[in-house]
Amino acid sequence: MQRMSTDGRDPGAAALFDWNRAEPAPAERRLPPGGVPAEAWAAARAEDEAWLPFERAARPVEVLDETLRDGIQGVSTVNPPSAQKIELLQAMASVGVDAVNLGIPAAGSRQFEDACLLAREIVSSRLPLALTAAARTTAADIEEVARVAERAGAPMVVYAFIGSSPIRHFVEGWGPDFLARSVEAAGRAAAAAGLPFCLVAEDATRAPPGMLHTLFRAAVDAGAARLCLCDTTGHVTPPGVAALVAFARRELAALGAPGMELDWHGHNDRGLGLSAALWAAACGVERVHATALGVGERVGNSCLELLLDNLGRLGARAPVPRERLAAYCAVASRALAWPIPPDHPIAGALTRRG
């Protein structure tokens, strides 16, 4: 039975922090080097869609495809056979996806074997996709990722996740010391296997600053290569994205890791998944996650084909022809048994009508 406080309130929910209401100080509104200063926004040319400050980006924003991990965790999608997963990998490469998550190898025998097969396919076919896989912050999970990397003979980044919001901590009985020890243990396991790791802070958009500081410090101390900020429940608005990214940059700089790269992973519960992902990229996040057709848990994730299309239009990365994006959608639709809605902006039937 869930524990409640004496006044009937859920103490976990009561401790949530709302980054949407975290008003940054004026200095924190400045974008990282390479972005357009805030005072120059008013001069942006509306006619060329340059409403987000990508024009002076130091390098293209990277996109990680989560379809084969988070996408197939949705209750309405299927876990496709390996042949269709390989076809989907090829479609990812055709639209310029930078990295792919191959799943959670420790989740079961099929998940492990599929991850091995897909990793070998990427290597043998020389697909330009960086390999990643997910794991809990446990040595056992990370060792399974290491086995996949060894079988494929290719480098792989471990995306090790742990909950950061008070609700999860209350339910699990986790405290700051446990969280720090878990992250440090994950870092040791990844280092022992020769794998770089990214700490994935689940539900970061509802986590208090003090808890995020604890996790960020543990990640830096454990030698993390990247840090992923998650909007696990699709809660955040663009101002919340800006506040959280600014906080993460400031904390990492104070911890002696100003160059640590950031990822953004978002969901679409409020219909803001795409806008939040674009805003995270505009705020300087180096890599953004998404799924084909926006599939995923509950109502899904940020939509990958729309993310690629808009990043290309905004000058954040090379544009992809819409015909190629539509073909990617068709492959995903077949593999996932997920129909393309007629009003889909790229692949829907209505786009071909006057």
Query: pLDDT value at position 338?
Result: 96
Query: Is the model's pLDDT at 108 over the cut of 70?
Result: yes
Query: pLDDT value at position 43?
Result: 43
CA gap 125, 115 in Å, rounded: 15
**Mean pLDDT across 153-167:** 93
In a domain, 42, yes or no: no
In a domain, 48, yes or no: no
Distances (CA, A) of 191 to 102, 142, 327, 336: 20, 10, 39, 35
Q: Which residue has the higher pLDDT, 168 or 81?
A: 81
Q: Which two tokens stand for residue 248?
A: 């993460």
In a domain, 256, yes or no: yes
Query: Is the model's pLDDT at 63 over the cut of 70?
Result: yes
Q: Specify whether the CB–CB gap between 328 and 318 falls below 8 A.
A: no
Query: pLDDT value at position 11?
Result: 53
Nearest to 168 by CA among 339, 15, 332: 15
Query: pLDDT value at position 5?
Result: 46
Domain total for the chain? 1
CB atoms within 10 A of CB 326: 18
Rounded percentage of the chain residues whose pLDDT exceeds 90: 77
The interaxial angle of helices 273-282 and 304-313, nearest 10 deg, is 40
In a domain, 40, yes or no: no
- pLDDT level of residue 263 (50, 70, 90 thresholds): very high
* Average pLDDT over all residues of the chain: 89
CA gap 99, 96 in Å, rounded: 9
Q: Which residue has the higher pLDDT, 54 or 94?
A: 94
Nearest to 127 by CA among 85, 163, 164: 85
The enclosing domain of 267 has a CATH number of 3.20.20.70
Query: Is the model's pLDDT at 61 over the cut of 50?
Result: yes
**Mean pLDDT across 176-184:** 93
Query: pLDDT value at position 352?
Result: 78
Query: What value, to the nearest 5°, has the Cα angle with vertex 276 and ends 119 and 60?
Result: 55
Q: Is 279 left (phi over 0), alpha (psi -120 to 50) or beta?
A: alpha
Query: pLDDT value at position 182?
Result: 96
- What would the pLDDT profile of 184-212 be if each residue is shown by its tens digit? 999 999 999 999 999 999 999 999 999 99
Helices (H) and strands (E) in the chain, counts: 11, 8
Instruction: Estimate the share of the chain in helix, then strand, then coil, as percent rounded to the nearest 5.
Output: 50, 15, 40
**Which residue, chain included where needed, has tokens 């300087």?**
284
In a domain, 190, yes or no: yes
Query: Is the model's pLDDT at 227 over the cut of 90?
Result: yes
In a domain, 301, yes or no: yes
Nearest to 169 by CA among 14, 63, 338: 14
- What would the pLDDT profile of 291-321 be if each residue is shown by its tens digit? 999 999 999 999 999 999 999 999 999 999 9
* Residues 6+ positions from 191 with CB-CB distance below 8 Å: 223
pTM recorded for the entire structure: 0.86
Query: pLDDT value at position 31?
Result: 45
In a domain, 53, yes or no: no
Note down the domain range covering 118: 61-352
In a domain, 175, yes or no: yes
State the SS3 of 51-64: CCCCCCCCCCCEEE
Contacts of 76-80 with C-beta under 8 Å, sequence gap 24+, read 76/295, 76/338, 77/295, 77/336, 77/337, 77/338, 78/336, 78/337, 79/110, 80/335, 80/336, 80/337
Q: Which two tokens stand for residue 150?
A: 């060894």
Query: pLDDT value at position 49?
Result: 43
CA gap 21, 17 in Å, rounded: 9
Query: pLDDT value at position 28?
Result: 43
